Structure 1
Amino acid sequence: MKPPLSDTHTAEAGVLPATAEPIGRQEETAALDGLLSGARGGRGGALALWGEPGIGKSTLLRYAHDRAADFVRLGHRATRSESDLPFAGLHGLLRPVAARTGSLPTDRGAVLRTALEAGTASANPLPVGAAVLSLLCAIAEERPVLVLLDDAQWLDAASARCLGILVRRVAAHPVVVLVADHGDPAARPWEGIPDVRVEGLAEESARHLHATVAPRADEAVVRAAVEEAGGNPLALLESVGSDWVPDEVEPLPGRLRPPVGPRLCRAFRAAIEALSPPARLLTVLVAAEDHGDLLVVRRAGRAFGIDDTAWDEAADAGLLRVRGDRVGFRHPVVRRAVYECCGAAARRRAHQALAAALPDEADEHAWHLASAAHDHDEDVAGLLERTAARSRLRGAMAAEARALRRAAELSPAPIDASRRLAGAARAAWDAGWATTAERLLDDAERLAPGTHIARCSLGLRGVIESSRGAPELAHHYLTTDMELVEDPGTALELGTTAMRAGWAAGRSDLAAGALEALLELDVEERAGLPVLLAWWSDDPAADTAPADATGFADALSRARRTPLRLLPPAPLAVVWGIDTATGDALRRRAPHLRRRFEPARLADVLAHTATLDGFAGRWAESESAAEEGLRLAEDVGADQIAAHCRNCLGWLAAVRGDEHRAAEAADRVLRTALPRGSRAVSAASYWIKGMTSLFQERPGEALDTLLRLADPGHGAMHPTFALLAALDTAEAAVHVGRLDVAEERVRRLHAWARRTGAPWACSSAHAAEALLGGPRAEDAFRTALDVHGTRSQPLLRARVQLFYGEWLRRGRRRTDARVHLGSALEVFDRLGAEPLGRRARRERDLTGPPGGRGSSDAGEDVRLTAQEHRIARLAAQRMTNREIAAKLRISHRTVGHHLGNVFAKLGITARSELGRTHGGPEPG
């Protein structure tokens, strides 16, 4: 009687469940499924899967094992410790079916039992291989057989020869043999059988794999892990299990990240230890040479007596690859594994040899000496500092940051280490690594605080606080550090940043103090400074003004080298009417910043460009710039710039009628801006919320929000945005009967228009005055539309036409009304201003068809609710809001809210107009 059949699991437990579908391996699994399907039909076959450790060969073997539940499954994982034992691999593979050898013919059974039991290396592989084939074919008569060999590179020679005979003779039998090997099968016993080289995962598949084990990982961690793993699944998964987090400053030579996990380390250590000492040292030299320079490695290798034999051995082992004058490893993970597994002493020897093979003035010479150092070394630190200076001249801020950070680590004196850390912090900031910059600056201040921190970091602390959105704290640091930095150009940048911080805080006194300090600087732009900086005031009560926008443009053209330092923020540029010149200057700078890859400055330019494009009616360009700026700002940790970009997107959402998106953008900004005292971005968010309510015809709610912009006790009070929102505030106030508020905004706009002559201010002042009604209303509307330059702000002009059309329609001048309402509607539809377009369309429809009588205004009350009818009727009887509230037993605020809705729905601006429609009895 034959012993019962059994099978053995081949692969040790891995990170993924045994039944998981291999991610990104569709072609490989299709090949495996084809082999298994053929065996079920009586055809056998073999396949060699090869590639570097961790690439996924074992996962594919597990997949085949799980798909072959109806097979007899025999598996073995070879180990280096048994690679010298004859037939050890064959013994491990056939152990579950060893009892079946008795069913073989006597001679073959005896040969196989002798090989398995005695392990004689001199045994002839041909009869042993034939006996193995006979055994598997006998088993396959009952059920198909699956043979799985993992880590076949460690099979003992005797087993490998026998199994090499087997794999080429199973085609006529339902036997499938799968071999996983590190090296090319053509150089192994598997020569001649089909093979599949298992390559690294594509990025999408690598991200999917990462998500299966770390679904809530931060995007920066995922991106860095995927990049560093180079498509190697095991390297990717082992990085998830480590405490490694990506560092913005790229790792120094000799500090390759993420660390190679223990399973990969074991696999590569075994491969390296199998090499001769010269070949092993050669792999360490290649791993330590960052650039893959073949000539440098050969020159360093000759110092250790490494000859062509060692090169051939490393290449034959599949570790090294030489192409032209470049040498490297076949996979980036191999380099990290070799470097980490070779030991500290071997690494230092390699770096010393590489340093000796390079000219003393080469940057790499300093780096290799730094990597070879294991204690403080001022000489090497000085070399690295000179390397950093050369990097800054090339505009390579990342390289400068790395060099200075390592120089600080090697500095014996704390004051030198602190100085170099401060410089590294500034370089990291310029490279767009805000988090790393702040950490390095903190380290410098802890190590040896002093005024040298400000000098070496070029006043970075204030710049960081300004970027974070803490303007008053930023202003303190910036104005203090202006006096400490040595370069006047840097002092100019700090001073203008301090002015921006004062403006952002809504503190004209802080901005004025920075302006005073700036005007005392002896800088190249000194002659144009007064003209350029005169546009930073937003006080309507001031009685001075720059000459004209032409003077600003001329001064700007003379200071073309440093316009970003001197340009006022985009909202201020709009307020002053210098938005065109400012936008042109910003657009000229953007390509330069892209070429130099200065993400923080580029994000700032994009944020302000988006604001100007929004006012100019270029909404698609505005949205694109704001979205790109937001991505860059988030990448570099520039919270303040990100807030500006979100406000731009929120402003667009408000005028487009997307209430949810507008509210989401404003609320997200306010959560951080209000506590930090960043009044500019807070005010912009309140303006967005007020505009949303106003355009959705909730004037009472809009007025409550917009009044905060001029409330000195509120965190969103800001003169610039109070001016920009003055027309909105006046409109909302007229709708709810707060004529005192509207009149105050009219006075403010007229004062600003007189001071600046800005077209938007002149047009807005007359439009707001017209909304108040009175005998000069039509003249005011016409004047608002006749202001030269308003066509550059199409939304503003279309709104004035809407107001005028509504006024004409209420005066029964329907033909004239249709002209202005139609023009406004055309602009709203072109821009995508849906709520204003809806309002203009409704008003146009109320005028009736062209040439017809149209509908009467009296027919409009059908749109009012019952409560609105009651309140409108009482208001028409000249009752005050408080009297109406007492009569109806509701609050006077509720009365104001309902009256605002009534005014908006009926398109009226004064209570006296209610008498025409609500002077009689209350409806039903």
Structure 2
Amino acid sequence: MTDLTLDPVTVPPRFYGDMELFGRGAETAALDGVLARAADGAGSGLVLWGEPGIGKTALLEYAVDTAPNVTVLRCRGTRMEAGIAFAALHELLWPVMDRLDTLAAPQAAALRGALGLSRDETNPFLVGAAVLSLVCGMARERPVLVVVDDAQWVNEATARCLGFLARRIGADPVAVLLTGHEDPHVGPWEGLPALEVVGLAEDDARRLVAAAVPGATEDLVDRTVRAAGGNPLALHELPTIDNEPDADPVPGRPGDLMRVGPRLRRAFVARAAVMSPPARALLLLAAAEERGDRHVVHRAGAGWGVDMSTWDELLRSGLVRAPGPRLEFRHPLIPAAVYDGTPFAERQAAHRALASALPTDATAERAWHLAAAADTADEDVAALLEQAAEQSLRRSAGPTAVRTLRRAAELSPDEGDAARRLAAAARAAWAAGDSGAARQLLDDAENLVGERHVARLSGGLRGFLEFAYGVPERAHHYLTSDMAVVEDPRGVMEMGSVAVRSAWSAGRDDLQQQALERLSTVNTSGDPTLSELVPLLRSWWSCHDATAPVAPVAPETVGNLADRLGTRVWGLLPPIPLLQAWGVDGPLHDVLRVQTVALRRRQEITALAAVLVQTAVLDVTAGRWDAAGNAAVEALELAEEVGTENVATQCRLIQASLAAPRGDEHTVDDLTTRVLAASVPRGVRALSANAYWHRGRAALFAGRPQEALDHLVCLSEPGHDAAHRTCALLAAADTVEAAVQVGRLDVVEPQITMIDSWVRRTGAAWARTAAHRLRALVRNGPEAEESYRAALEVPGAPDNPFEYARTRLLYGEWLRRARRRAEAGRHLAGAAQVFERLSAEPLRVRALRELALSEGSRIHGPAGPRDAVGLTAQELRVAQLAADRLTNREIAAQLLISPRTVGHHLGNVYPKLGITSRAELARIDFAGDLRISSVDR
């Protein structure tokens, strides 16, 4: 959020219409800047915020009146419509409905569904894109000004849509202006420039009172200025009200400025008191209805003596306008003051009348009016609210459902019904990503009926919350304990699976076994899909128990099973890394993509973030690195929005996994530091292990095998924060490569043994490839070549293009040392092409250098003291590594030659370059060698 500060310099008075905006020169200058940028073709937005009556609406009117040659779209939020999805958007776009046909078909369909023009599903992402396309399309004709007053009451669906619009208009002539009561540093307007509108200075306040009440006495001006505290609405209204009780507060009494709200309420109630009883009743109905539907207010007032003369009296009061079928209060503070200043019994009667006047299909509005009229528990109203909440959930309006169910619980006569509704509200809050509300609702329900009963009602939600946001061992405790009380078999299976995953995340084999035992007792006889899943879960989760039975299964079977599990697949199946270890992950990408669409449509943000993470992991393996990066960015935004720290951490790990082979070590270090800061204190070893793994890979690809090994061995070190069996297994190929380069054969043998055991247990293609590659690294002669060929010929090995290219690189280097240059060149060129496509720059450079060596190339270029002229390809490579401050031993490890040979090459390099020391190598231009490649030619 960008907070704009006002320059205290004197500025000329500004006007909107015929009225001077006293003391608002700096604010109008800020608005002028937004409008000027739009006129110049650059979009921007501004949120004006401050207390009711402070003058925000007047500033909006100024902008509308002074904006030259613009199309104005405007709406206003209301309290009643705050729970109705897309209500404000309907008002905003109603004047331009004829333009919907200009949109792409999916966008138009989504927007029509949101606006109630069709039964199409209201995908919030498509709705936001549709509004953006619509507004920007109009802006191509002339600038567009979007004005949203009282944004604090705009329904959440519209707020998200408008926030989406306001953050994406930088390149279009669009200005977005919003007003609200609170500082918008968080919420849908986060990130937009914000300007607080404060009370007027005393001199400006006096000038305003004098202009509003010509001829006002000095005493009246003094009393008004003291009471209003700089609030322009109060400065306008208070002087015009005669005989207001207690009009003169005690000078200097603390809290005078905070008394502006109550005083204005009394002021408006006093103004309404001089009206006839029917007109007062009509004013109250209009204030309670809030949506501005004149027809509903008219029907509600039919039994209260309201006739045309009553309407005339109301409109003559100046408090309400009626342009067309809509009712509009002159200022939003007026209905609040009238409503709050009316006795509760009269408000009850108004809400009952409005409920009776609504159409039969307006379930939600009727429920809320009856709820507002209720002063004691009422099961009928509670049930109606619950029905309205169910409709909200079907429309993917989770926050609305949460508010509705909470109110239904308040009106429930029976504690059990109240707890059930609170638990349902907690589930809705969890799905919508509001973990704080979910926890509070669970606490409230537990205070009524106890933890065990709420665990049954909520489907073990407490454990899921802890798994997503907290400590995995604690999540394991909640989930395994609550499995005994939840009745839904699929829900119990999901709890058991997540409990096992919690223990796996913590690296606790003992807790994992406990959860597996609980999982094995679940009765799944009534669900064929679950019955098929249970033995697979037992086998997969017992991955490190060599005595556990193995249930062989084809990857296609897993894909079909995941498809049948629906959008709960992410909670029932093991995490993708474990499925990858078993080699059954192949078909899951398409299944998860379908599930992503469904979760987007239902706005289940928490689950959507989790599924996007799983999809990104699959994309990394399949070589779809750009797609993986995009999915990780989106998932991270969602996870940070709803506060799911564990999911956010996984997103950062995916980004680190892409940065490491691309040579972006700064990003790897930054991301893994953040990961460890989050994962180590909570004991999430699976995440900590991945952080160490990516640090190790970054160092390995950069040619620092010892540093890489220092990170990688931690994955197998008992008691270490990063010790994790699955991660150690998946990282074995990197660990062995680093260990071979530094001569640590004591590390190599256990790793090869571990991979061999896994091959015998699963037959997974990646493990078979890794086993052959690792043997090739420690073998010599024909045996090494046999292992390399076997690694490349494993069925399915090319499905992981990056690792396949790494195998080809290693094989090409071996062939080059065996002086089989033609064969070496073919593998090295193929590897370089893959690395180039993936932007894996360190390995691409390594492959090209090896390719140059295999071709016997020499560097040619203009002579000069600072150019690498006359070096052989091997001498050039040694010189470059030495210039990077690697020692002879480190250079030897990377080039697979002896330190003595390194010294020999350096002895030739120095005289050829006319230098005498390593320090002078840093001043040599080594860029040319990157261009000597048959791949590039």
The TM-score range, normalised by the shorter chain, is 0.5 to 0.7
What CA distance in whole angstroms lies between the structure 2 residues aligned with 1:814 and 1:743?
31
What does residue 218 of structure 1 align with?
185
Which of 653, 659, 670 aligns to 1:664? It is 670
Cα contact 2:12–2:25 (8 A) shared by 1:
no
Residues 1:545 and 2:550 are matched in the alignment: yes
Q: Distance in 2 between matches of 1:605 and 1:643?
A: 14
**Distance change >3 Å, CA 414–CA 366, structure 1 → 2:** same
Superposed counterparts of 1:158-169, under 5 Å: none
For the 8 Å contact 2:293–2:327, the answer to whether it is kept is yes
Q: How far apart are the structure 1 equivalents of 2:743 and 2:491?
A: 52
Cross-structure match for 1:815: 822
Distance 1:579 1:330, change over 3 A: farther
How far residue 795 of structure 1 moved from its aligned partner, in angstroms, is 0.4
**Match in the other structure for 1:580:** 586
Query: Residues 29, 800 of structure 1: CA spacing in aligned structure 2 closer, same or farther, 3 A cutoff?
Result: closer
Over aligned residues, Cα RMSD in angstroms? 4.6
Deviation at 1:427, TM superposition (A): 2.1
Provide the residue aligned with 1:903 in structure 2: 893
Aligned-residue offset at 1:751? 1.9
TM-score (norm 1): 0.67
Q: 1:836 aligns with which of 832, 836, 843?
A: 843
For the pair 1:686 / 2:692, whether they are aligned, the reply is: yes
Rounded to whole Å, the distance in 1 between the matches of 2:373 and 2:411 is: 11
Q: CA deviation at 1:234?
A: 7.5
The answer as to whether partners of 1:500 and 1:569 remain within 8 angstroms in 2 is yes
Distance 2:192 2:377 in 1: 32
Tell me the CA shift for residue 584 of structure 1: 2.1
Q: Is the 8 A contact 1:604 1:641 kept in 2?
A: yes
Matching residue within 706, 723, 732 for 2:712 = 706
Of the candidates 741, 747, 760, which is equivalent to residue 735 of structure 1? 741
Q: Which residue among 637, 642, 645 is the counterpart of 2:643?
A: 637
**Cα deviation 1:157-177 (Å, max 9, x = unaligned):** xxxxxxxxxxxxxxxxxxxxx
Q: 1:543 to 1:464 in 2, by over 3 A?
A: closer
Is structure 2 residue 31 aligned with structure 1 residue 24? yes
Contact 1:828 1:836 in 2 (8 A): yes
Are residues 419 and 200 of structure 1, via their aligned partners in 2, closer, same or farther at CA, if it must alter by over 3 Å?
closer
Measured in 2, the distance between the counterparts of 1:867 and 1:826 equals 25
SS at match of 1:451: helix
Residue identity opposite 1:833 in structure 2 = A
- Secondary structure, counterpart of 1:585 in structure 2: helix
- The answer to whether the 8 Å contact 1:265/1:341 transfers is yes
How far did 1:379 drift?
Answer: 5.2
Matched letter for residue 430 of structure 1: A
Q: Quick one: distance in 1 between partners of 2:906 and 2:663?
A: 37
The Cα shift of 1:623 comes to 1.0
Alpha-carbon shift at residue 261 of structure 1 (Å): 6.4
1:651 aligned onto 2:657: yes
Aligned partners of 2:479, 2:674: CA distance in 1, in Å? 27
- Preserved contact between residue 868 and residue 902 of structure 1 (Cα < 8 Å): no
Aligned counterpart, 2:78: none
| Closer/same/farther in 2, CA of residues 822 and 375 from structure 1, 3 Å limit | same
| Contact persistence 1:235–1:264 (CA under 8 A) | no
1:28-427 to structure 2, matched below 5 A, reads: 54-55=55-56, 57=58, 218-220=185-187, 222-223=189-190, 277-289=277-289, 292-314=292-314, 317=318, 319-321=320-322, 323=324, 339-340=339-340, 344=344, 346-358=346-358, 362-377=363-378, 380-388=381-389, 391=392, 396-411=397-412, 417-427=418-428
Per-residue deviation, 1:667 = 1.4
Give the C-alpha shift of residue 212 in structure 1.
15
| 1:618 to partner: Cα distance | 0.4
Is 2:351–2:373's contact at 8 Å kept on the other side of the alignment?
Answer: yes
Matching residue's letter, 1:309: S
Of 524, 528, 534, 2:532 maps to 528
SS at match of 2:543: coil
Query: SS in structure 2 opposite 1:655?
Result: coil
How many residues end up aligned between the 2 structures? 709
Are the structure 2 counterparts of residues 356 and 920 from structure 1 closer, same or farther at C-alpha, using a change threshold of 3 Å? Answer: closer
Q: Following TM superposition, by how much is the alpha carbon of 1:370 offset from its aligned partner in structure 2, in angstroms?
A: 1.6
Deviation sequence 1:296-316 (CA, Å, 0-9, x none)? 322211122222333345556
Name which one, 1 or 2, has greater alpha-carbon Rg. Answer: 1
What TM-score results when the alignment is normalised by the length of structure 2?
Answer: 0.67
Q: Distance in 1 between matches of 2:307 and 2:547?
A: 83
Gap runs ≥5 in structure 1: 1-6, 31-50, 65-196, 242-258, 873-898
Aligned equivalent of 2:803: 796
Does the CA-based 8 Å contact 1:431-1:598 persist in structure 2? yes
CA contact (8 A) 1:55 1:232 kept: no
Q: Match of 1:368, as an amino acid?
A: H
Provide the C-alpha distance between the structure 2 equivalents of 1:813 and 1:224, rounded to a whole number of angstroms. 59
Following superposition, the deviation at residue 922 of structure 1 comes to 9.1
Cα distance change on mapping 1:402 and 1:9 into 2, 3 Å:
closer
User: Aligned partners of 1:729 and 1:358: how far apart in 2?
Assistant: 70
Shift of 1:292: 4.9
Pairwise CA distance, 1:260: 11
Alignment partner of 2:187: what SS? Answer: helix
Distance 2:712 2:504 in 1: 19
Match of 1:716 among 715, 722, 734: 722
- Aligned pairs (5 A) from 1:879-898: none
Q: 1:409 to 1:782 in 2, by over 3 A?
A: same
Match of 1:781 in 2: 788
Do the aligned residues in 1 keep the contact of 2:279 with 2:310 (CA within 8 Å)?
yes
Q: Is the 8 A contact 2:395 2:602 kept in 1?
A: no
Partner Cα distance (2:514, 2:791) in 1? 37
Identify if the C-alpha distance between structure 1 residues 543 and 439 changes in structure 2 by more than 3 Å, giving closer, same or farther. Answer: closer
Aligned match of 1:474: 475
Cα distance, 1:487–1:390 mapped onto 2, change above 3 Å = farther
Q: Secondary structure at the match of 2:804?
A: helix
Structure 1 residue 432 corresponds to structure 2 residue 439: no
Code of the aligned partner of 1:456: L
Q: Retained in 2: the 8 A contact 1:55–1:234?
A: no
Which stretches in structure 2 are left out of the alignment for 5+ residues? 1-10, 38-51, 66-144, 150-161, 168-173, 202-227, 232-258, 860-869, 909-915, 917-937
1:129-151 alpha-carbon deviations (Å, 9 max, x no partner): xxxxxxxxxxxxxxxxxxxxxxx
Report the more deviating stretch, 741-750 or 700-709.
741-750
1:615 Cα deviation after fit: 1.0
| Aligned CA distance change for structure 1 residues 290 and 712 (closer, same or farther; 3 Å) | farther
2-side partners of 1:554 and 1:415: how far apart? 40
Q: Does 1:569 align with 2:575?
A: yes
Alignment partner of 2:29: what SS? coil
In the aligned structure 1, how far is the partner of 2:197 from the partner of 2:621? 50
- CA distance in 1 between counterparts of 2:270 and 2:420 reads 44
CA distance in 1, matches of 2:476, 2:679: 16
SS at match of 1:825: helix
- Measured after TM superposition, the shift of residue 221 of structure 1 is 7.4
Quote the Cα distance in structure 1 between the aligned partners of 2:900 and 2:53.
88
Q: Is the 8 A contact 1:848 1:854 kept in 2?
A: no
CA 1:655–1:861: 2 relative to 1, 3 Å? closer
- Pairwise CA distance, 1:630: 1.2
Question: Residues 319 and 334 of structure 2 are in contact (CA less than 8 Å); yes or no, is this contact kept in structure 1?
Answer: no
Alpha-carbon distance in 2 for matches of 1:561, 1:574 = 20
Aligned in 2, Cα 1:484/1:851: closer, same or farther, shift over 3 Å?
same
Cα separation, 1, equivalents of 2:199 and 2:628: 42
Aligned to 2:613: 607
CA contact (8 A) 1:55 1:199 kept: no
Relative to 1, partners in 2 of residues 1:511 and 1:580: Cα closer, same or farther, differing over 3 Å?
same
In structure 1, C-alpha distance between the alignment counterparts of 2:490 and 2:182, rounded to whole Å: 50
Aligned partner of 1:78 in structure 2 is none
Residue 347 of structure 1 aligns with an amino acid whose one-letter code is R
